[in-house]
Homo-oligomer: A and B are copies of this chain.
Amino acid sequence: MQIRVTTDDDWPRVYPFFRAIVAAGETYAYPDGLTSDEARLVWMREPPGRTVVAVDGDVVLGSATMGENRPGRGSHVATASFMVDPAHAGRGAGRTLGTDMIAWARAAGFRAVQFNAVVETNTAAVRLWRQLGFQIVGTVPGAFRSSAHGYVGLHVMHLDLTGDTAH
């Protein structure tokens, strides 16, 4: 498995699982029914942001998109989103993409990474982020309408990159 920055040719291989994951209604609060062009604007970022794919040869296993969490006086904190093709779950693509994102954020000089909306019932993701060092800052109750579970909480998660243990 390799991680590389996306090219325009990758999008047609990302959009099908992007669409399927959003439609499943368990992990992302994107608008419903985004067209391919609309979704591409959401997912495929230009520098200083970055979008990558995890590939095994010609097969795209998953993708991550990352950048500043806020502009201006919040631009020292990165954020990122991840999708792994359900057809390729269990091969470690999420962990590999997450590890790559953290290395990128550190190299780019960000002081922290913040996830704004990790669905609390997405326990595999929550477990992975905790294993990679993220802490749950808080949980917004009922902020996500899960297809299977109804109203569930959204975790705000945070990884400090400064080594400042006072945080």
Contacts and interface: CB of A to CB of B under 8 A. Distances in A.
Interface in A51-105: 69-77
Interface of A: 22, 25, 28-32, 69-77, 111-112, 114, 116-117, 136-147, 151, 154, 156, 158, 160, 162, 164, 167
A142 B167 contact: yes
Give this chain's copy count: 2
Nearest to A71: B31
Given A28-B73, A137-B140, 11 more contacts: A30-B72, A73-B146, A74-B143, A74-B145, A74-B154, A77-B143, A111-B151, A112-B141, A138-B156, A140-B156, A142-B167
Sorted nearest first, the 8 A-B pairs with minimum C-beta distance are A138-B138, A29-B74, A137-B138, A141-B167, A31-B71, A29-B70, A73-B145, A29-B73
A64 B73 CA distance: 20
A123 to B, nearest CB: 17
Most B-side CB within 10 Å, residue of A28, A70, A117: A70
